Structure 1
Amino acid sequence: MNKSDPVDVLIIGAGASGAAVAWSLAETRMHILCLDQGGWMKPSEYPSTGRDWEAKFYGEWSTSPNVRARPEDYPINDDNSPIKVVNFNGVGGSTVMYTAHWPRLHPSDFKVKTLDGVAEDWPIDYDTLVPFFEENDRMMGVSGLSGDPLSPLTHPPMPPQPLGLSGPLIAKAMNKLGWHWWPSDTTVATMDYEGRARCINLGHCTPACAQGAKASTDITYWPQAIRAGVELKTHCRVREILTNEHGMASGVVYYDKDGIEQFQPAEVVIIACNGVGTPRLLLNSASGRFPNGLANSSGLVGKNLMFHPYAQIYGFVKEPTDSNRAPPTCLWSKEFYDTDLSRGFVRGYGIQFGRGAGPVFEAVASEQKGILPWGADHHRVFRRLNGHRLAVSAICEDLPEEHNRVTLDPVLKDSHGIPAPKIDYTISANSRKMMEHGLARGKEILEAAGATDICTNNPIPWGGWHLLGTARMGTDPARSVVNEWGRSHDVKNLFIVDGSVFVTSGGVNPTSTIQAIALYVADQMKQRLANLFD
């Protein structure tokens, strides 16, 4: 095993949270090193540069690591889950793949136990994160319209996305029903911004934006962090975190780009590997001192996995829609976000509206749903469906349940022999009631828009984009893995900054909040520099 010189701070993972914490800590002038098991992305190779972009979505650019199976990926056993994990390994992490939808958790999401008597309260509140939300919106480059009456107030530095063809159809339907809607915040640039070109509708934002209009951390945070002195090593897969005789993290064992085992000593270790990769690493770092996994005296590492079940309903209108034109989500609704017990469940969901789908996806999906026949009528029906889809998705809050968990698979391993994560997950009765409510409301919206041939995906099977809760923060070491500023209760120089620290999931996409938390943890670390190394 080769040994490198020790660094002050070692960050594992170069995605949404790893990039943000690296950039923030760079001003300390400490020696900061980040290891990522993927490489730098090449926008010239992104699917949206060619006409076969949809075909690539089913293979090498699938959102699922099990389908994609790039050397940088690790397999995931999610056979025991109705929702399949989707993630991405590389500089930028899943921000390369995400839809760029940019809501924040609501203030109420931090006080779920107090308000509704379920789950747990966060040890921090929304107001604590506001300056970090604002900083992150500037760094990532957010477009939107300030003043939404049902969402937290934001101040996007760019104007909102155009409503296009689909937006007014959705808005008129919502107005007919008297329900809330608003142009959604996105991290897709609507004007030239910080060296990034504006969106020109090259194609769907998922899986990746060749134009650079969609913010991913390889083109936002990382260039600035590296200029400030942060070191980033790619194609380095961390196997385990080691500890010394004092129970402190001493560094990591990793495999370099040539597959050679290396040891990297560090004074402080920060994990930014998402809600599946982080518990996997902690559990694989078991030792004599930490027999049940590192930082796991609570027994909660890997437990309380929250996905956000998505209930989707879609139909087809006579008017043309935006099809695959970017970004996929242009409007949101928070009409059913907060608890109303008369609905039969606690908590609530956000609604996301989809512009449509590309022609290959439309053909495949419509044939599977039985609304696109083969034979003489095929072309006529396809012309009526293609470019006429409207979709409504309810993103349902997942409450934390300990039986929803990530463990180490006893058989499946990655290409370096490291045990793969195994997912055990079931959708709760509360979430199922929420999903049914969302589908019923979605049907009302589509009917108000004049849609026919209505189909559902309940849940969206490849919908495990949001990986949350498996190393939650809290003040009680018996009920949480890290404290209120991301520091492990058990290992004082170990920090976690990704979505695994979430206490509850809310009913919105989490990336904005994940990055705000990473910046907040970095700020707390800077305020406490004197005792970081104790």
Structure 2
Amino acid sequence: MRFTPLQRELPDVADVLVIGAGASGAVAVRELSAQGFTVVCLEQGGWTPRSEFYGASDEWELHAQKTWHPNPNVRRSVGDYPIDVSESDVNPLMYSGVGGSTILYGGHWTRSMPSDFRTKTLDGVGDDWPLTYEDLAPYYNRIDRDMGISGIAGDPAYPDGVEYPLPPLPIGKVGLTAARGMNKLGWHWWPGTNAIASRPYRGREQCVRRGTCQTGCPEGAKASVDLTHWPSILEKTDTHLVTGARVREIEVDDKGLATGAIYIDRDGREHRQKASVVIVAANGVGTPRLLLMSQSRQFPNGLGNSTGLVGKRLMIHPYAAVDGYYEDQLESWLGPAGQAIISMEFYETDPSRGFVRGGKWHTMPTGGPQGHRSGYGGKVGTAAWGENFHNSAELVGHSFEWGVVAEDLPDETNQVTLDSVLQDSDGLAAPKITYTTSANTRALLDFHIERMREAHLAAGATRTVTTSLMRDCGWHLLGTARMGTSADDSVVDPFGRSHDVPNLYVMDGSTFVTSTGANPTNTIMALALRSVEQLISSRVDQKVPV
């Protein structure tokens, strides 16, 4: 990780201060800078050069167990902060750096479904969103082009009009085998949609199918926003990116308006950056942590927290998987990883199943002898050596994973708080996660596990191995500063503006009302695009500190 020196002097007062240089922060900064705003973005991590990714090396599976592990408590990079997970069923996963978690995500690119925005009306659970799929569709389309999405139009699970700028990636022998099983059962499947270039696209290379997407892409084929957004952003002279900047507090004036932030650089020095508007884009853990740390006389319980909902309603998407083993050689070390095919067969509620809502399935390759999930969930890497290594090596290429992204219902007891003891390297309170899977979630996972076993057996698997709840599955951190139309039961309005602080915005997964059952990055980015365009169009009415 590299921390770059500032190329230009920072403004005394920025028009907009953005905290976080990941997926949603990059969207906000790009739109603002294109409209001539003076923007400063503070990012606690640094740049990650492609030369630091080990996907093209023989030892990449070993580096996945430490250097490029998705759990910050395992990885312990200079940009990471520790997280207390002693009272959580699931470990939160994230990456601090320019690009955020798009550096290590798998590039699964699945839109939320129309029903996801109306769960209260349809199923009597959660709450309806203050917007619809149709409201978000044009922003989905624009983000798809920005990210260079590979896919094929016509999926019957979705409304018409979904097209992609690039053709789909090959589904390979894994996808063909899985599809045969689904066809035999009469279940829905579709070639996977991925934020991975199937052809050269806007300076990005074509995917070479290494299958190492979740430890960084050496070719730069995967659409991480350090490649898709930040290079063009930094051509603007009025846009400034400060790396190695850990924000300690968002400050307010006597009128309760945000005036900027105090941050700590990697030499331990404090700086104050003033701004007329502040946008927080620090993910579903980092954002509530910062708001809760930003206590003042006006906001003794944390900034924008008059409802007490900041940090509450945490949703994580519990993940279960079934690996199937086959006699045929499936070449399941090949990418994308990435998803070869997906299924929405069991996405919607069916009352006869005894639970509400559902989840999205996808197939993934299983990698080499160590396995593509080597080191996940606290596994000891050396357990795969010796005789176990030889046993695993004989099976390489003969298996693949069906996994389910399970919809997680909002529950105020699942939350992010400030730990009373644990601190980060700058002495700031670490976040504490309190999270328990519900009875509905457990029933949902059990049902999907059995159906995934059926899918493998129908495809010809000779045996299956189940992971009923993957400990390291908390990629999708959602709901901890939910949006809504009323200041009585939400933290921000439908465009991410704080009900309490009119020049403070949240633009990340924290604003989700319900979790949906789909990978959320494109919804996060589409929401950010919608929100920042509203901020820009209404700028003449924006309250700012004098």
Normalised by the shorter chain, which TM-score bucket? Answer: over 0.9
Q: Which residue of 1 aligns with 2:277?
A: 268
Equivalents in 1 of 2:373, 2:297: separation in Å?
55
Equivalents in 2 of 1:358, 1:105: separation in Å?
32
**Pairing partner for 2:221 from 205, 213, 218:** 213
Q: Is the 8 A contact 2:327 2:462 kept in 1?
A: no
Q: Which residue of 2 aligns with 1:13?
A: 20
Q: Secondary structure at the match of 2:340?
A: strand
Equivalents in 2 of 1:363, 1:469: separation in Å?
27
Matched, 1:163 2:163: no
Q: Secondary structure at the match of 2:143?
A: helix
**Pairing partner for 2:199 from 184, 187, 191:** 191
**Pairing partner for 2:350 from 337, 340, 353:** 340
Q: Which residue of 1 aligns with 2:369?
A: 359
Equivalents in 2 of 1:89, 1:136: separation in Å?
22
Q: Is the 8 A contact 1:3 1:262 kept in 2?
A: no
Q: Is the 8 A contact 2:370 2:389 kept in 1?
A: no
Q: Deviations over 1:287-312 (max 9, x none)?
A: 11101100000110000000001111
Equivalents in 1 of 2:388, 2:333: separation in Å?
24
**Pairing partner for 1:529 from 528, 531, 539:** 539
TM alignment of 1:478-489, pairs within 5 A: 478-489=488-499
Q: Which residue of 2 aligns with 1:451?
A: 461
Equivalents in 1 of 2:385, 2:251: separation in Å?
59
Q: Secondary structure at the match of 1:162?
A: coil
> Would the alpha carbon gap of residues 365 and 174 (structure 1) be closer, same or farther in structure 2, given more than 3 Å must change?
farther
Matched, 1:258 2:291: no
Equivalents in 1 of 2:170, 2:300: separation in Å?
54
Q: Is the 8 A contact 1:321 1:355 kept in 2?
A: no
Q: Secondary structure at the match of 2:348?
A: coil
TM alignment of 1:300-311, pairs within 5 A: 300-311=309-320
Q: Which residue of 2 aligns with 1:223?
A: 231
Q: Is the 8 A contact 1:203 1:326 kept in 2?
A: yes
Matched, 1:53 2:63: no
Q: Secondary structure at the match of 2:287?
A: helix
Q: Secondary structure at the match of 2:213?
A: coil
Amino acid at match of 2:28: V
Matched, 1:503 2:503: no
**Pairing partner for 1:238 from 244, 247, 257:** 247
Q: Is the 8 A contact 1:73 1:88 kept in 2?
A: yes
Equivalents in 1 of 2:134, 2:516: separation in Å?
16
**Pairing partner for 2:69 from 54, 62, 73:** 62
> Would the alpha carbon gap of residues 56 and 375 (structure 1) be closer, same or farther in structure 2, given more than 3 Å must change?
closer
Equivalents in 1 of 2:129, 2:426: separation in Å?
37
**Pairing partner for 1:440 from 440, 450, 456:** 450
Amino acid at match of 2:39: I
Q: Note the C-alpha offset of 1:30.
A: 1.1
Matched, 1:461 2:471: yes
**Pairing partner for 1:289 from 286, 291, 298:** 298
Equivalents in 2 of 1:423, 1:399: separation in Å?
16
Q: Which residue of 1 aligns with 2:5?
A: none
Name the Cα RMSD after superposition. Answer: 2.0
Q: Secondary structure at the match of 1:47?
A: coil
TM alignment of 1:55-204, pairs within 5 A: 55-153=62-160, 154-204=162-212
**Pairing partner for 1:474 from 484, 492, 497:** 484
Equivalents in 1 of 2:385, 2:250: separation in Å?
55
Bigger drift between 505-514 and 146-155 goes to 146-155
Q: Is the 8 A contact 1:14 1:272 kept in 2?
A: yes
Equivalents in 1 of 2:34, 2:372: separation in Å?
48
Q: Is the 8 A contact 2:263 2:271 kept in 1?
A: yes
Q: Is the 8 A contact 2:46 2:97 kept in 1?
A: yes
Equivalents in 1 of 2:324, 2:100: separation in Å?
32
Equivalents in 2 of 1:67, 1:271: separation in Å?
26
> Please, what TM-score do these two structures have when normalized by structure 2?
0.94
> Would the alpha carbon gap of residues 288 and 116 (structure 1) be closer, same or farther in structure 2, given more than 3 Å must change?
same
Equivalents in 1 of 2:521, 2:388: separation in Å?
44
Equivalents in 2 of 1:67, 1:169: separation in Å?
35
Q: Is the 8 A contact 1:202 1:211 kept in 2?
A: no
Poorly superposed stretches of 4+, deviation over 6 Å:
362-366, 372-378
Q: Deviations over 1:139-183 (max 9, x none)?
A: 111000001001344211000010112110000000000000001
Amino acid at match of 1:97: L
Amino acid at match of 1:56: H
Equivalents in 1 of 2:283, 2:226: separation in Å?
17
Q: Note the C-alpha offset of 1:472.
A: 0.3
Amino acid at match of 1:515: M
Q: Note the C-alpha offset of 1:375.
A: 8.2
Amino acid at match of 1:224: S
Q: Note the C-alpha offset of 1:3.
A: 9.9
Matched, 1:31 2:42: no
Q: Which residue of 1 aligns with 2:4?
A: none
Q: Is the 8 A contact 1:243 1:249 kept in 2?
A: yes
Give structure 2 stretches of 5+ with no counterpart. 1-8
Amino acid at match of 1:156: Y
Equivalents in 1 of 2:372, 2:118: separation in Å?
41
TM alignment of 1:412-427, pairs within 5 A: 412-427=422-437
Q: Note the C-alpha offset of 1:360.
A: 1.6
Q: Is the 8 A contact 2:369 2:393 kept in 1?
A: no
Equivalents in 2 of 1:26, 1:111: separation in Å?
34
Amino acid at match of 1:177: L
Q: Is the 8 A contact 1:151 1:334 kept in 2?
A: no
Q: Which residue of 2 aligns with 1:317?
A: 326
Equivalents in 2 of 1:182, 1:55: separation in Å?
33
Q: Secondary structure at the match of 2:447?
A: helix
Q: Note the C-alpha offset of 1:526.
A: 1.3
Q: Deviations over 1:234-259 (max 9, x none)?
A: 11110110100010001100012322
Q: Deviations over 1:10-57 (max 9, x none)?
A: 000000100011111122201011010011111011111321111011
Q: Note the C-alpha offset of 1:533.
A: 3.0
Q: Is the 8 A contact 1:143 1:190 kept in 2?
A: yes
Q: Is the 8 A contact 1:321 1:356 kept in 2?
A: no
Q: Is the 8 A contact 2:315 2:414 kept in 1?
A: yes
Equivalents in 1 of 2:333, 2:471: separation in Å?
20
